[in-house]
Amino acid sequence: MQLIRAFAVALTAVTAVSGLSLSTAQAAGEVVVYSARQEHLIKPLFDRFTEQTGIDVRYITDDAGPLLQRLRAEGRNTRADMLMTVDAGNLWQAAEWGVLASVESDLLRERVPQHLRDPDSRWFGLSVRARTIVYSTDRVDPSELSTYEALADPDWKGRVCLRTSKKVYNQSLVATMLSRHGEERTEQVVRGWVDNLATQPFSNDTSLMEAIIAGQCDVGIVNTYYFGRLQQRDGEDIPLKLFWPNQDAEGVHVNVSGAGITRHAGNPEGALRLLEWLADEEAQQMFGALNMEYPVAPEVSPDERVASWGDFQADTLNVSEAGRLQVPAVMLMDRAGYR
Ligand code: FE
């Protein structure tokens, strides 16, 4: 808050001296970031970047929706040089609204695998999150598990917990299934999930896992870093485990958190430097570890706890598909009664 206020004052001061534009204010090379990633996940990175390059980073954080709306409303008057957000669905939306610039960078193309970035180079994944199956070690034998789709089978009647379909993570998961299986098959699966629900969908992944521990249901689908946070909070011996599904097929559903340079950036050079730096080895290590996610750079290993969950085959479908098919996915979930 302090930071935003200080910045607002500085801006007013600059505007008062008429004729001075924002780019003048940023002449020192400062980069301004709008971030839907929380402060504690980005500040250590920005501090390190500043230490290494002498370029200051100012940022504001908010939820993805409001930040995107704001960037769109501000148009060419925006002070943001970079948008950082989670989920390819949100990044795709930002690109659709024309608030991101296409970036020519061999470095980024080299460091960020093709399926984890926009085909038109308007955004780049910076960390990978896996959305996978979590199960009760008390009531489920992992040999019962195989794929996301199989959770729609009648054996799971009354045993499944899901997070709400309002969350973009589930919209992206279903959008990916749509891209793979088409509408009919995907709808059949989602209906099966809904039929198997033990209780109403949860508002977040953590309460879903708590419900499994409490015995309300036996399996669910979560992002792995929430599992990591629960382990951190409650200890390693919680009666839950992760399962990597679809290993004989397309692989585990992955998504990204990522960033792009804004179309009306006052400091596109500084923003590009930051973006390239974030994809570099040291930053990749930090970026993943701070939220217990996976680095996008394949040569960088994840942190110790994340590595302890084991290796898996990840889906290599371009994550932008999650954005492209978001609307049909939402409509499908609605039709299937998934709330
Ligand atoms: Fe999350």
- Whole-number Å distance, alpha carbon 305 to ligand 1 midpoint, is 18
Q: Residue range 257-276: average pLDDT?
A: 98
CA-CA distance, 103 to 299, in Å (whole number)?
A: 23
| Structure confidence at residue 210 (pLDDT) | 98
Residue tagged 């998934």 (tokens): 338
Please answer whether residues 82 and 259 qualify as being in contact, where contact means their C-beta atoms are separated by less than 8 angstroms: yes
Residues 70 and 153 in one domain: no
The 10s digit of each residue's pLDDT in 162-204 is: 999 999 999 999 999 999 999 999 999 999 999 999 999 999 9
Please give the distance, rounded to the nearest whole angstrom, from the Cα atom of residue 8 to the centre of ligand 1. 29
CA of 310 to the centre of ligand 1 (A): 20
Q: How far is the CA of 23 from the centre of ligand 1 (A)?
A: 33
Domain match, 207 and 321 both: yes
pLDDT higher than threshold 60 for residue 317: yes
Structural domain contains residue 93: yes
How far is ligand 1, taken at its centre, from the CA of residue 12, in Å?
Answer: 34
Check residue 57 and give its pLDDT: 98
Would you say residue 5 lies in a domain? no
pLDDT at 5 (0 to 100): 37
Please tell me the predicted confidence (pLDDT) of residue 138: 98
Domain match, 243 and 151 both: yes
Whether 11 is covered by a domain: the verdict is no
Rg value, the chain, Cα: 21
User: How far does the centroid of ligand 1 lie from the alpha carbon of residue 259, in Å?
Assistant: 16
Q: Which residue has the higher pLDDT, 22 or 144?
A: 144
In angstroms, what is the span from residue 11 Cα to ligand 1's centroid? 32
Residue 87 Cα to ligand 1 midpoint, Å, equals 9
212: helix, strand or coil = helix
Q: What is the pLDDT of residue 136?
A: 98
Using DSSP bridges, classify how beta strands 31-35 and 57-61 pair: parallel, antiparallel or unpaired: parallel
Q: What is the Å distance from ligand 1's center to 285 Cα?
A: 19
How many angstroms is it from 24 CA to the middle of ligand 1?
A: 36
> Do 199 and 136 belong to one domain?
yes
- Contact by Cβ (8 Å): 306, 62: no
Distance 70 CA to ligand 1 centre (A): 21
Instruction: Tell how far the Cα of 173 is from the centroid of ligand 1, in angstroms.
Output: 14
pLDDT at 225 over 90: yes
Within-domain flag for 204: yes
Task: Check whether 66 has a pLDDT greater than 70.
Answer: yes
Q: How far is the CA of 128 from the centre of ligand 1 (A)?
A: 12
Over residues 116-135, the pLDDT tens digits come to 999 999 999 999 999 999 99
**112, part of any domain:** yes
Q: Dump pLDDT digits (tens) for 84-117.
A: 999 999 999 999 999 999 999 999 999 999 999 9
Ligand 1 center from residue 322 Cα (angstroms): 16
Q: What is the pLDDT of residues 271-315, one digit of tens each?
A: 999 999 999 999 999 999 999 999 999 999 999 999 999 999 999
Report CA(208)–ligand 1 centroid distance (Å).
Answer: 13
Check if the beta carbon of residue 33 is closer than 8 Å to that of residue 126.
no
- Report d(CA 188, CA 193) in Å as an integer: 9
The Cα–Cα gap between 58 and 34 comes to 9
**Model confidence at 8: pLDDT above 80:** no
Residues 135, 124, single domain; the answer is no
104 within 8 A of 121, measured Cβ to Cβ = yes
Among candidate residues 103, 34, 59, the one with its CA nearest the CA of residue 269: 103
The per-residue pLDDT for 100 is: 98
Ligand 1 mean position, distance from CA 289 (Å): 14
Q: Do 271 and 316 have their domain in common?
A: no
| pLDDT score, position 309 | 98
Tell me if 19 is assigned to some domain. Answer: no
pLDDT score recorded for residue 261: 98
Q: Domain total for the chain?
A: 2
330 in the same domain as 218: yes
CA of 10 to the centre of ligand 1 (A): 33
Question: How far away, in angstroms, is 62 Cα from ligand 1 center?
Answer: 13
pLDDT, mean over the chain:
92
Q: Is residue 2 situated within a structural domain?
A: no
CA of 254 to the centre of ligand 1 (A): 13
pLDDT of residue 223: 98
User: For 139-154, b where at least 16 C-beta lie within 10 A, e where not — what string?
Assistant: ebeeebbbbbbbbbee
Q: pTM value?
A: 0.90
Tell me, yes or no, whether 53 lies in a domain.
yes
Report the separation in Å between the CA atom of 129 and the middle of ligand 1, taken as the mean of its atom positions.
9
What is the full DSSP assignment across 260-285? Answer: EEBTT-S-HHHHHHHHHHHTSHHHHH
pLDDT tens digits along 128-157: 999 999 999 999 999 999 999 999 999 999
* 3-state SS assignment for residue 166: coil
Split at pLDDT 50, 70, 90, the class of 28 is low
Q: State the CATH number of the domain containing residue 69.
A: 3.40.190.10
Q: How far is CA 156 from CA 3, 111, 204, in A?
A: 49, 41, 21
| pLDDT category of residue 19 using cuts at 50, 70 and 90 | very low
Examine the domain organization and report whether 245 and 156 are in the same domain: yes
Ligand 1 mean position to 130 CA, how many Å? 11
* Helix, strand, coil percent content, the chain, rounded in steps of 5: 50, 15, 35
Task: Note whether 234 and 273 are same-domain residues.
Answer: no
CA 204 to centroid of ligand 1, rounded, Å: 9
123 shares a domain with 213: no
Host domain of residue 330: 129-253+311-335
Closest to 112 (Cα-Cα) out of 319, 253, 325, 323: 319
